[in-house]
Structure 1
Amino acid sequence: MSDLSFEAALDARVDEMVDACTRCGKCVEACPSVKPAGLADAMPKDVISGILDILRDGDGPEASQRWAQACTASGDCIRACDEGVNPRFLLAMARVSMAKAKNDLPARRRKALERYRDVGREVSFLSQIQLNDEVLARLGQKSASVNTTTEPPDFVFYTGCNVLKTPHIALLALDIMDTLGIGYQVMGGPSHCCGIVHMRPGDVEMSGRMGTNSIDKMSQSKSGQVISWCPSCYVQFTETTLPALERQRGARPFEMTPFLRFLEQRIDQLTPHLRERVPMRVALHRHPGVSGVMEAAIRLLNAIPGVTFVDLKQPALGLQAVYLNVLPEYKRELTLNELQAACDAGVDALVTVYHSEHRELCAHERDWPFRIVNLLELVGESMGLKQNDRYKELKLMQDADQIVADCADLLASHALDAAKARELVVKDMLADQPLPLRSG
């Protein structure tokens, strides 16, 4: 056990990577954000050297600052490095360093707390207008006692926070594990925060406390394995919090596996349950930031009888859709091009993997001749499992008053104010639309 604080442990890891970096610039050359961020003419060696300057004192060349802010966490930089450095992690720490240089700790802490509370309100509200208390408890929300096992579970299933806005995805993951006989306990939501909300504004110690607290809660499975859904949480834990905690304690409390990779590892166990044909031509909306997940998604699609996978040959970048918000014009262009390509290919459905792109894309189903569905919906359909995509039903209404009226029973059940609910519907659902819908 070390006497290092979380922040000191994190700084030590950064220092080791800075020393290992040869400033070759291969990470910059591989980065798909460089061109849309307007950095195509910058010298890669100069850009990465500037990142190291930022890590030292919070300041560096404008091109390096812009590269750090334009990171979509695609992970191409990690694969490009021959020195075992994780440039994605260094860019995240460079953004923290810039935040520290810009604001003192009280200001950073206020900003982090404000965002943490916003996330809690958004997640709580959007899940409550779709689910009753019993289903919320199944997802690890509301009454913790309902979801507590009498002995350690085989696995912990960690949802993260924002998938609870599209709860049918998380519920299908649980249904699939139930069918396969996998024992688990669900954890997630703001009470099990990964700490990323505090890390981004530069409140490193609070981020460490939040993440470590969640890790200690998750360190109870028989297998020493945590199955994760959210890619942001996965990267925050595996690239930031767990390595720092390992330095502090001398050991890593568990390993974390993305759910689709976990499912792919059990594809021989899964395949006999894929009994129903799903006769559809489908394309996959891809974000490659977590290694192996998109490959697992394609393998799972190809395992479903009746499904024909169509490669749209469109660019794939980012950890998930929300990470492309740093390049808004480019994101709109990519989205429109993909929708048009799906239309031209005559697919029956454009398939999402993660929750953030499902929220952003699902209402486009109104304007294009194909469905927007999540991958687990198709797996579930073949297994005879069904969870209604209530989020998409509501968002397709495109009318806040109609949505509030349609959720009146649950608003009353959860004692939610209708006027406040309308405000949150506009802000958290209807405004979550980076590429506007067509007229009307």
Structure 2
Amino acid sequence: MRELNMQPNDISFETALGERVEQMLDACTRCGRCVEVCPSVKPAGIADAKPEDIITGIIDIVRSGEGPQASRKWAQSCMLSGECIKACDEGVNPRFLLAMARVAIAKAEHELPERRRQGVEKYRDLGRDVAVLSRLQLDGEVLERLGQKSAAVTAPAEPPDFVFYTGCNVLKTPHIALLALDIMDALGISYQVMGGPSHCCGIMQLRPGDVEMSGRMATSTVDKMSQAKSGQVISWCPSCYVQFTETTLPTIERQRGARPFEMTPFMRFLDSRLAELTRHLRGRVDMRVALHRHPGVAGVMEAAAKILQAIPGITLVDLKQPTVGLQSASLGVLPAFKRELQLDELQAAHDADIDALVTVYHSEHRELCAHERDWPFRIVNLLELVGASMGLQRWDRYKELKMMQDADQIVSECGDLIAQHALDASKAREVVVKAMLGDQPLPLKASV
């Protein structure tokens, strides 16, 4: 095993990643505790398999691409909850090994040209959906503020204290990202915004098994983000955070001998400045609210709860619902289980007589927001409540459009911006149907 003090570019990204994987496989004792605590096991239908056999099969899959069916199911059903990481006493990250098992399965099933084709297709689809949905809501000036114009990604004259990395999909619900920037402005924090498909984390290439292209894309983004004076990147997207902190940054550290920066989730960053933030929370927000929780990034939900409780007038209600997954989108690997969880939570929110169900991440906000039409409470993002107390407001145009439930009406409503951005209205409609109205795991009541 090579040491971390090797010279830069001494080995390729894929080789360095392979070395990390082998080191972790060697450290795994196959005790099965990671399987025992995993919330995916029962809904995936593999609860009768021995945990030791499942993790042993994962190791076989990572090394050869082949393994028992229960192990393959476990790898493909991972919701990225992170319970497995907390359960391991050997310093192994089972969530990372499951990602590598999925890569190995993809490699065994398809040759590189097909894997690369799949990665390119997924990347293009993501880029199109993000570009269209953000442009149906924002003019060019606001897009530039979110780092989506060339002038916004040039190096600033003075290095910022932080880089704020949005990821891609939050740009579909841009009011959330804009509120994050407004809050940082109020706190006097200097930052540069980066994100969107031009600053890809590499996950769209890794999922189909194109490790080389994933490493190339992610390394390019890491180099762009290595500008902050503090050596800190504030991240919004949880899947990007996991991709960078569990796959990319440790691999680059093995390649170069040092990690370019540390990455902190936005909620944990706000929590670290809670005393300062509290001084800006002057307005009362008299609401009974419940927090929609996903525990996949350690400390984020705890930080979100603390921030909510710091807002004058907020009463936080515990709905006593299961909390699983990295974010709502991560539960898509078990669609029936996901629908059941969402329906149970909406019913519990109704029974608790709350004023609002509060999302943290963007994916659950996209999936849940239109349910506001059918239930007697609002669906809002946490930053909307923080902003309300600070005197900051951003229009949730995404929710407004999605609640129309009519693609033609949505396109008509966005006609001015379609013209401003020179979008093809028919193609914009296709994106609305697929990426907005189609992003509805639990059907609305009228659609059942």
TM-score of the alignment, normalized to the shorter chain, above 0.5: yes
Separation (CA, whole Å) in 2 of partners of 1:337 and 1:349: 15
Whether the aligned pair in 2 keeps the contact of 1:166 and 1:391 (CA below 8 Å) is yes
State yes or no: 1:284 paired with 2:291.
yes
**For structure 1, which runs of at least 5 residues remain unmatched after alignment?**
none
* Structure 1 letter corresponding to 2:231: G
CA distance in 2 between partners of 1:115 and 1:398 (Å): 25
* Conserved? CA contact 1:147–1:185, under 8 Å: no
TM-score (structure 2 length as normaliser): 0.97
Paired AA for residue 314 in structure 1: Q
Distance 1:228 1:410 in 2: 28
Query: 1:125-173 deviations in whole A, cap 9, x for unaligned?
Result: 0000000000000000023347752111010000000000000000000
Match of residue 193 from structure 1: 200
Whether 1:261 aligns to 2:268 is: yes
Report whether the alignment pairs 1:306 with 2:313. Answer: yes
Amino acid at match of 1:281: R
CA distance 1:11–1:146, shift in 2 (3 Å): closer
- Per mean C-alpha deviation after superposition, the further-off stretch among 415-424 and 211-220 is 415-424
2:185 counterpart of 1:178: yes
Q: Which residue of 1 aligns with 2:3?
A: none
CA contact (8 A) 2:153 2:193 kept: no
Question: Residue 265 of structure 2 aligns to which amino acid in structure 1?
Answer: P
Contact 1:138/1:147 (<8 A) preserved: no
Secondary structure, counterpart of 2:446 in structure 1? coil
Q: Which residue of 2 aligns with 1:91?
A: 98
CA distance, structure 1, for counterparts of residue 90 and residue 71 of structure 2: 20
User: CA offsets per residue over residues 100-148 of structure 1, 9 Å max, x none?
Assistant: 0000000000000010000000000000000000000000002334775
Normalised to the residue count of structure 1, the TM-score between the two structures is 0.99
**For 1:331-355, what per-residue CA distance to the aligned partner results, in whole angstroms no more than 9, with x for missing partners?**
0000000000000000000000000
CA displacement 1:316-337 (0-9 Å, x = unmatched): 0000101100100000000000
Residue 10 of structure 1 is matched in structure 2 by 17
Aligned CA RMSD, in angstroms, stands at 0.8
| 1:211-251 Cα shifts (integer Å, max 9, x gaps) | 00000000011000000000000000000000000000000
The reply to whether residue 324 of structure 1 matches residue 328 of structure 2 is no
CA distance in 2, matches of 1:86, 1:147: 36
Distance 2:105 2:393 in 1: 46
1:144 is aligned to 2:144: no
1:74 aligned onto 2:76: no
> C-alpha deviations, 1:273-325, integer Å up to 9, x for none?
00000000000100100000000000001000000000000000000101100
- 1:33-432 mapped onto 2 (5 Å cutoff): 33-145=40-152, 148-432=155-439
CA deviation string 1:24-76 (max 9, x = no partner) = 00000010000000011110000000000001100100000000000000000
- Cα distance in 1 for residues equivalent to 2:262 and 2:407: 42
Q: Is the 8 A contact 2:46 2:70 kept in 1?
A: yes
Q: How big is the shift at 1:404?
A: 0.5
- What's the secondary structure of 2:338's corresponding residue? helix
- Could you tell me the percent identity over the aligned residues? 75
Instruction: Tell me, in whole angstroms, the C-alpha distance in 2 between the residues paired with 1:6 and 1:246.
Output: 10
Is residue 25 from structure 1 mapped to residue 32 from structure 2 by the alignment? yes
Q: For residues 79 and 327 of structure 1, what CA distance do their matches in structure 2 show?
A: 22
